[in-house]
Structure 1
């Protein structure tokens, strides 16, 4: 192999290592955030499912794709714009798996358009999710 070919191979290897380090760092940072939980997302009940991490904010729910290097969330919904329409506890051979799929009506923050998404999470995360939604202040920005 010539010197130029070695340089290309070494450069490609360094880019792969750098990408892996950045992805690992991003994933670790998302998992350590306060209010974050594993949450898969699908636009329909049949999928396809995208693995991700969701995080509660004061007034928004942020969702990041697991397989991404982008520093910003892929989806953002306001707390007041989320409504759980139904939930299903998944079971294998009649035994609950501890995984819940919630069908939610959401209003996209950027566009203001309403739609439905399916969120798959652990039953513990679902309990926190519904508590967070129910704790919505009725009048944000006012002093009582």
Structure 2
């Protein structure tokens, strides 16, 4: 078999794998959305350098927890989970510098505190309203602050 045919077969196989991966991502997002509304939620994993360390993802409220799923992962389970009674809203700001490029255009950066320390999330303003309402809707006697 000539070399060009082997290369063509390899390129075809790679294309099929990329299409299957894309289809799996679409199916995963549908499955996640089925259990409740999901919203675009970015999470900052590293804050050493200004504007860096953001990962795009999906957020979903599940009872008393906020679940975060990486957007380009096929994992069915959330990568991070924050409990409502340990999460409190601190402030929000507009993206600055390189954050404008790495985040969705209409998102704001939200600062929250948790027992493990401060964290930054990025979401749309309507999702921020939803987060604040979810935090305020905590059962009486819990230590959430909005």
Label 1:47 to 1:117 Cα distance change in 2 as closer, same or farther (>3 A).
Answer: farther
Q: In 2, distance between residues paired with 1:35 and 1:19?
A: 23
Q: CA RMSD in A?
A: 2.9
2:84 matches 1:79: yes
Give the deviation of 1:121 after TM superposition. 0.9
Instruction: Give CA-to-partner distance per residue, 1:13-35, whole Å, 9 cap, x none.
Output: 33222212101212333355523
Do the aligned residues in 2 keep the contact of 1:89 with 1:98 (CA within 8 Å)? no
The residue number in structure 1 matching 2:139 is: 137
SS in 2 for 1:72: coil
Residue of 99, 118, 125 corresponding to 1:123: 125
**Pairing of 1:6-85 with structure 2 (within 5 A):** 8-31=10-33, 33-43=35-45, 44=47, 46-85=51-90
The residue number in structure 1 matching 2:99 is: none
Task: Return the TM-score normalized by structure 1.
Answer: 0.73
**Pairing of 1:92-103 with structure 2 (within 5 A):** 99-103=107-111
Instruction: Give CA-to-partner distance per residue, 1:83-126, whole Å, 9 cap, x none.
Output: 112222459xxxxx85321111124xxxxxx1221111111110
Q: In 1, distance between residues paired with 2:108 and 2:35?
A: 22
The residue number in structure 2 matching 1:111 is: none
Do the aligned residues in 2 keep the contact of 1:31 with 1:53 (CA within 8 Å)? no
Do the aligned residues in 2 keep the contact of 1:90 with 1:98 (CA within 8 Å)? no
Q: In 1, distance between residues paired with 2:61 and 2:19?
A: 31
Write out the 4+ residue segments of structure 1 that deviate beyond 4 Å after TM superposition. Answer: 6-10
* Bigger helix share: 2
Which runs of 5 or more residues in structure 2 are unaligned? 97-104
* Bigger strand share: 1
